[in-house]
Amino acid sequence: MVTTLLITVIILAVVFDYINGFHDAANSIATIVSTKVLSPFHAVLWAAIFNFAAYFYFTDHKVANTVAKTVSENFITLEVILAGLIAAISWNLFTWYYGIPSSSSHTLIGGFAGAGLANALFSGGTLSEALNYGPLLKVILFIVLAPVIGMIISSITTLLIINISKNSKPSTAEKWFKRLQLLSSAALSFTHGGNDAQKVMGIIYVALVASNVLTQGAEMPEWIPLICYTAISVGTLTGGWRIVKTMGSKITKVTPLEGVGAETAGAITLGITEHFGIPVSTTHTITGSIIGVGLVKRVSAVRWGVTVSLIWAWVLTIPVSGILAALLFSIIHYIF
């Protein structure tokens, strides 16, 4: 049965996906804007097109399934999902306002898990029963692994590119790297759309199951991925200029050659993790990739003070979102 609460949850999920788009737009366009390959407007348009193009390719929904299984089925209610979404939206807007490239993915998962834990306590269950620790462990593990993998791949890719182009004229090489950066940024936007849109797809799916509109294990209705990919693409069109500055220039100065290396590494990492159904942070991945190209030059080329601040935001995102969602669930529990 479709209820007002279910409709509210679906609307908030789509709003979160839209916010995810403009919050994470910086991940896809920061390097291509900082290297002046595209203007900010053309960069977000380019990214939005490839965000949506992912809809036609990523049809296995593995990441969506992982997110949907984070909280135990016995403790998933519309109130849990509502509290998780409000917490996730709040933290996303807070970090966007202050230009902090935190993870929208981890915000959503942290909020969902925190509300699920609160529901377990209110309903007489135990904390150990509330979560499915297999999927959650994947998420926590890749908080560390995703940026490290991105960093390693980008370092190797950048060294290969330097070696291949070492005999080229600098002016000719730069012209080609600017063209290649269009492709590498498109690939990053494509895999970003495929990874991030699925997280909200998983949330909407479990909301429909919790409302008995769908049975557990039923095929996902086609309107869910369509609306999620549309929302994240439209969000990307609005950009995230505060975070672009941090990602594109504060971590390390990026040239078109290095932009190709970082974006290619980010796209490869996101493609691999999507294949295995692991919901990783695009923010963490591209940050690690940018650090990797900086390390190729020299260790001091990376502004480690900025990087440490970003890591603090990454560490805090899941627990802060979880605590906020638990508090919100407590309030919602008494209202409904």
Residue 248 has pLDDT above 50, yes or no: no
Residue 104 has pLDDT above 70, yes or no: yes
- The residue with greater pLDDT, 185 or 311, is 185
pLDDT value of residue 300: 64
Quick one: 90 exposed, middle or buried, by C-beta within 10 A (0-12, 13-18, 19+)? middle
Evaluate whether 251 touches 294 at the Cβ level (below 8 Å).
Answer: yes
Domain boundaries of the chain, sorted by first residue: 4-335
Residue 327 has pLDDT above 90, yes or no: yes
Supply 291's token pair: 């650090």
Distance CA 218, CA 60 (A): 14
Band of residue 101 on the pLDDT scale cut at 50, 70, 90: low
Residue 1 has pLDDT above 60, yes or no: no
Among 120-134, 248-262, 292-306, which range has the highest average pLDDT?
A: 120-134
